[in-house]
Structure 1
């Protein structure tokens, strides 16, 4: 039994999974920026490069390079904001949505493998707890 507290366990979990995509770095970065755009849009937030930078924890120039690479790969598009023509917003293309769909299917397969032998109740409670943590994090870190 571990003697670490729940906060330590949470951050160990995050560190562990943040390193799992090292072998597929380029694709992982495209998925990361696509997930950021998708998440921001689902929350009704702006999808500017600055907002994407905050979402993924990078500086503006790093996020800008990721966005540029995803645009070049055909996964994202950039256009003038509907609410403020001076701003540019990023959106997923059909190819970007397809990429995320594939990534999400893979994520579900990994979850199924990791929780093999768990009851549906335990899986559901774990999913709900993770979702609650993410929702709370967005509330605590909202501008």
Structure 2
């Protein structure tokens, strides 16, 4: 089956319409939740659809647009570099212990969930080179 709505020139019409519909549905959900919960809980006034859309957009600007980064949530770039450096300095035995502990923590109660596809750095660290020299 052809995906005619996402091919040229239809994608320039379909994608903005779908984005506007999604934003409208989210704004409607925010408005309904606000108007049905917060006036009774916090004694605030009800809001309109446009105010709900503004609250949603503002929250996305302030708190981010989703989970970015790599396979496990990305994280700060300086942490990734630090982790790679730490992994390079481990002996093969330390690497295996680390992988086992990491696997236990990441897969607790969820099964393996793609664990085997995580790419560990395979570079030789200074410790491994020193042990080879002995």
Shorter-chain TM range is under 0.3
**TM-score, structure 2 as length reference:** 0.27
- Structure possessing the higher radius of gyration over alpha carbons: 2
TM-score normalised by length of structure 1: 0.26
Which structure is higher in strand share? 1
